[in-house]
Amino acid sequence: MFCKQLLAAAAALSMVSGVVGVSCDGSSTISSSADATEIAKCSKVDGDVIIDENAGPDIDIGGKLQEITGDLRAENNGLLATLRSDSLVTIGGIFALKNATHISTLNFPSLNEVGSIDWSTLNSLPEPTFGTTGITKAKSVVIADTFIESINGINVQSLTDMNINNNRRLTKFSSSIKSLSNTLYVTANGLNLTMEMPNLEWIANMTIANVTSFSVPSLHTVNGSMRFDSNYFETFNAANLTEIQDGDLSFVSNPQLTNITIPSLKRIGGGFTVANNTALEKLDGFGKLNEIGGAVKVRGSFTEVDLPSLKDVKGAFEVVSTEDIDDSCSTLKSLESGVVQGHYECEGKVADANNDTSSASSDGSDSDNKDDKSSATSPVVSTSLVTLVALGGAIAAFL
């Protein structure tokens, strides 16, 4: 009799906690393959599914399970090697894999909708496997500090944020995303990373660093700022970009850059910076640029600077080169009166022209590039932490 009461009390305590054991009707913790098998019998889990830090090495939640309304999480797990489900279609919350250092297989061929992706410190995962259609709906994507070589199958049409950083083996990323309502942040990935976003039409903010090629042929509007720092591409072309509405456009310290062509761009709402791109000899790809809402800072090794349509610069205007640009300065001189509202300077044969890489800001002043980059590129997607309640002590005390 006493044993039955004890078991009933333990079961009740488990139900109150909501995180121990498995259930279709609430949040569950998978501690073993057997738990995964039980979860897979549900068609829907109304809550979170947590992979315990000691579960593994193989967790398969495929079977009948098609929907998890909350998060699917595996965190601080050094045992998990395989996580899969051939049936799961929807994760309503966060698909979080964090500090799962031995996971090498991630296979979700039916998954097409998640609340968000938050993956970090996955030291053994070469490539996730999704189905033919891939993930078509998500609010945000963070992939950081992983072993991933290629990201395929994230075919979302619109996102709030995408943050891809410190994936040292990542060499290719292609996405069908059409719009990003907050920030695209890509930095410190593989040295030969090629990035293609053929369908991207509209974005709020973009910061791209350390990529070998970057393609956005359909991009027509940037609502905030667009920044390119320390990349390895030789050319940049955005044939359909017509406006940067409120923020800055900057190309800083891209050592192999020889050509920038944005022929349809008419307006930059903030500052315009092109600095320390030592292979860039001509700045002549802005034929329709008419208005700049902040300062202009052009410093480098130019032999020619041509801005033929410029009619309004709200801030200062600085063009400085290590080379002789007397002809360009003679042409640009007409901007000093009536076009440039701040301080005007155009000068060639300046030995340290490439040394100053601070950015021209939207208010016409200079801002330190490092600080500005730090604030602009801090990871923008926050994730919630799931607190696991340890009941062993409570049950032991009851015994």
> Is the alpha carbon torsion for 124, 172, 211, 240 positive or negative?
negative
**Is the model more confident about 393 or about 307?**
307
* HSE-CB of 282 using CA atoms within 13 angstroms: 9
DSSP lists the bridge partners of residue 78 as: none
| The residue count for the chain | 399
- For the four alpha carbons of 215, 217, 219 and 222, in that order, the dihedral sign comes to positive
pLDDT at 390: 35
Residue range 280-314, pLDDT digits in tens: 999 999 999 999 999 999 999 999 999 999 999 99
pLDDT at 362: 62
DSSP state of 135: B
Which amino acid is residue 279, in one-letter code? A
Residue closest to 204 by CA, chosen among 228, 225, 176, 175: 225
User: What domains, with CATH codes, occur in the chain?
Assistant: 222-381 (3.80.20)
Q: Answer whether 0.85 is exceeded by the pTM.
A: no
Phi, psi (deg, nearest 5) at residue 333: -55, -30
Q: What percent of the chain has pLDDT over 90?
A: 80
Joined together, the tokens standing for residue 290 give: 């008419």
How many whole angstroms separate alpha carbon 72 and alpha carbon 383?
A: 13
| Token pair for 134 | 């891939």
Please say if the pLDDT value at position 49 is more than 70.
yes
Gap between the Cα atoms of 60 and 39, Å rounded: 9
* Mean pLDDT of the region 324-353: 97
For the residues 71-93, what does the mean pLDDT come to? 98
160 membership: H or E segment, kind and range: strand 158-165
Q: From CA 47, how far away is CA 71, in angstroms rounded? A: 7
- Contact between residue 350 and residue 330 where contact means Cβ atoms under 8 Å apart: no
Residue 3: the pLDDT is 42
